[in-house]
Amino acid sequence: MNLVTISGPPSSGKTSVILKTIEALTRRGLKVGVVKFDCLYTDDDVLYEKAGIPVKKGLSGAMCPDHYFISNVEEVTQWGIKEGFDLLISESAGLCNRCSPYIKEIKAVCVIDNLSGVNTPKKIGPMLKSADIVVITKGDIVSQAEREVFASRVNLVNPSAVIMNINGLTGQGSFELSTLLHDEKNSVDTLVGRELRFTMPSALCSYCLGETRIGESYQMGNVRKINLENRQ
Amino acid sequence: MIGRNQIADRHIGSLLEDYPFLSSFFRENGLDFEGRDDSTLNQMFGEFDEEEQEERAIDPDLLMKQTAEFINQMLAFLNEDNEVHSLTILPGTDKSGEKEGFDSLVIRKSEVISIVGPTGSGKSRLLGDIEWVAQADTPTARSILINGDVPDSTWRFSTSKKLVAQLSQNMNFVMDLNVREFIELHAESRLVENPGEVVERIITEANKLAGESFSEETPITSLSGGQSRALMIADTAILSRSPIILIDEIENAGIDRKRALNLLLSEEKIVLMATHDPILALMAHRRIVIKNGGIAKVIETTEEERTILSTLEELDRTVLAYRTRLRAGEILIKG
Ligand SMILES: Nc1nc2c(ncn2[C@@H]2O[C@H](COP(=O)(O)OP(=O)(O)OP(=O)(O)O)[C@@H](O)[C@H]2O)c(=O)[nH]1
Ligand SMILES: [Mg+2]
């Protein structure tokens, strides 16, 4: 089975792109499943089910969804293998622009949209910078010039990636993406021993552990303070 | 090809002299490079301690690799002869698996081809095939040749080298900039050498196309529909490096469509125009008829059709004149 991790800011068009891409993969006779990771709530599983795609969802609740993802990715991989998928796609929303769920040698796709503004690419960390493929959606609602500027900004922060424009509504471009996702050679049996491409931020402060009160005397562990001094 | 070893120990100052485009790369990647001419790249990337690397999500090793990659891409972009003289479409099949109704369609620079057919009949797949330079590997099994040859795969994967620029019906702007700032931003991303001149030219040309003129200080979000279309067409004609322009219908309001096409053609573009409007369809040299997902026919515009076009254009002018007078608050009279 191949595993592909697809990540991107909330509502960037991940599900729309995945649904259209799976149509093209299915036409090639491939069996595809999806696992959706989110924080508090998602309806995506209903959308996948409606399209007849086997799906599992995981809600991280109070935990960081990317930490939750990596703690569960081996289990869902085994689920996918047991179901006999040729390809398992994981969809996860990058919430803090800092985490990224990408694993070394596992194809990583980042989905961002043209509406998020030309300064967004530089604000997104490893989720964008270390992706193999960057999909840009919602090109239908901005001008050609804005599409070109946005793509060039993405290219500046990740020159290694293949950048593709996909319309999540019509699926234009999703066939092309589908040709890049499955390759016998990239088959995996287990992820045990594999590594993340980038560390997740270290946390564990008192608020991670359930503290709700404000004030220095309640803050322990990994605490960092804002710098309010004027810089030169 | 420049490898990472060739740049790692070079000074920032001399790198910027050779590759001025690196400044935007450093800036977008949040690197503080100003006044650091005498440090080497290795020194600049190596300065972050572990905590800072974590905090700012910086991976010096990846950054070095990507710097080299970026330099190579930009050098290729600046030097390459990407000229497209012709585009050839070789037939595939329609949705029922029937062979398409033409043998080989060669489209040359400064030619306008219209695409007609019912909505949903396969126009976007045709565009997709061209953009992806299909090699009998898409659902239609069409093949695309550039300058008569099988093109190399960089047309598929490069960001700066795109075969098709698309002018869609909705030309909304979402950025909060005025016309000049907007075009400057675009020019910067295209690495043009004389941005001031180019910006000037685009605004002048756009104003020739637009019914109502606008200034370089006008915020792009307050342009009218016709003005936005005019600006986008002038911008695409002059700034976009893509040799093929796909136009999805040009609405007949607030813009001189004939002039718009002529501007694109004078910039040696190949223009593909999907349309339901008879005037646009007949303005093309040839038209592609799409049915059931395939190209059913390719028709050359006949002499007779050209006279019909003149009649239609005459009618069009009459309608426009009435529209202008109504907008000005006049009462219409016959004759
Ligand atoms: N106009 C336009 N809308 C799009 C496009 N792609 C997605 N959308 C719309 O954007 C909204 C969000 O799309 P989703 O596919 O649900 O986004 P997502 O990234 O999966 O969202 P989450 O999983 O909730 O983070 C939906 O209303 C889509 O219909 C596109 O290319 N163009
Ligand atoms: Mg989703």
Instruction: Give the tokens for residue B99.
Output: 């062979």
The CA distance from B23 to the nearest CA of chain A, in Å, is 10
Residue-wise burial string across B167-199, b where 16 or more C-beta atoms lie within 10 A, e elsewhere: bbeebebbbeebbbbbbbbbbebbbbeebeebb
Ligand closest to CA A45:
2
Q: Which residue of chain A has the CA closest to B159?
A: A163
ipTM: 0.81
- The pLDDT score that the predictor gives to residue B240 is 86
Residue from B21, B28, B161 to probe the interface with A (highest A Cβ count within 10 Å):
B28
3-state secondary structure A30-71: CCEEEEEEECCCCCHHHHHHHCCCCEEEEECCCCCHHHHHHH
**A141 in contact with ligand 1, CB cutoff 6 A:** yes
Across A35-39, A80-84, A168-172, B125-129, which has the greatest mean pLDDT? A80-84
Q: Which residues surround ligand 2, an ion (CB under 5 A)?
A: A 14-15, 44
Model confidence at A198, pLDDT cuts 50, 70, 90, reads: confident
**A9 in contact with ligand 1, CB cutoff 6 A:** no
- The pLDDT score that the predictor gives to residue A202 is 62
In contact, A106 and A5? CB cutoff 8 Å? yes
Q: Select the CATH number that applies to the domain covering B86-301 from these four: 1.10.10.60, 3.40.190.80, 3.40.50.720, 3.40.50.300.
A: 3.40.50.300
Determine the CATH number of domain A2-186.
Answer: 3.40.50.300
Beta bridge partners of B90: B143
d(CA A104, CA A195): 6
Residue spans of the domains in chain A: they are: 2-186
Strand duo A55-59 + A2-8: pairing:
unpaired
- The pLDDT score that the predictor gives to residue B300 is 95
Residues of chain B with pLDDT under 70: 80-81, 170-171, 252-253, 335
The CA distance from B194 to the nearest CA of chain A, in Å, is 18
B249-301, pLDDT tens digit by residue? 777 667 888 899 999 988 889 999 988 899 999 999 999 999 999 999 999 99
d(CA B18, CA B149): 34
Residue with the smallest CA separation from ligand 1 atom 13 is A13
For residue B210, the 8-state DSSP code is: B
Strand order through the sheet with A32-38 = A55-59, A32-38, A87-93, A2-8, A107-113, A133-137, A162-165
A98-143, pLDDT tens digit by residue? 778 899 999 999 999 999 988 899 888 889 999 999 999 999 888 8
- The pLDDT score that the predictor gives to residue B151 is 87
Q: Count Cβ atoms below 10 Å from residue B276 Cβ, excluding itself.
A: 11
Query: Mean of the pLDDT values across residues A52-68?
Result: 85
Residue spans of the domains in chain B: they are: 4-79, 86-301
- The pLDDT score that the predictor gives to residue B92 is 96
Contacts of B213 (CB under 8 A, 6+ apart): B207
Q: Count Cβ atoms below 10 Å from residue A142 Cβ, excluding itself.
A: 21
**A94 in contact with ligand 1, CB cutoff 6 A:** no
Task: Provide the whole-model pTM.
Answer: 0.86
Task: Give the distance (Å) from ligand 2 centre to CA of residue A38.
Answer: 9
B59 part of contact set with chain A, CB < 8 Å: yes
Question: Token pair 């088959």 is at which residue?
Answer: A187
Beta bridge partners of B287: B114, B299
- The pLDDT score that the predictor gives to residue B73 is 86
Candidate from A98, A151, A198 with C-beta closest to B59 = A198
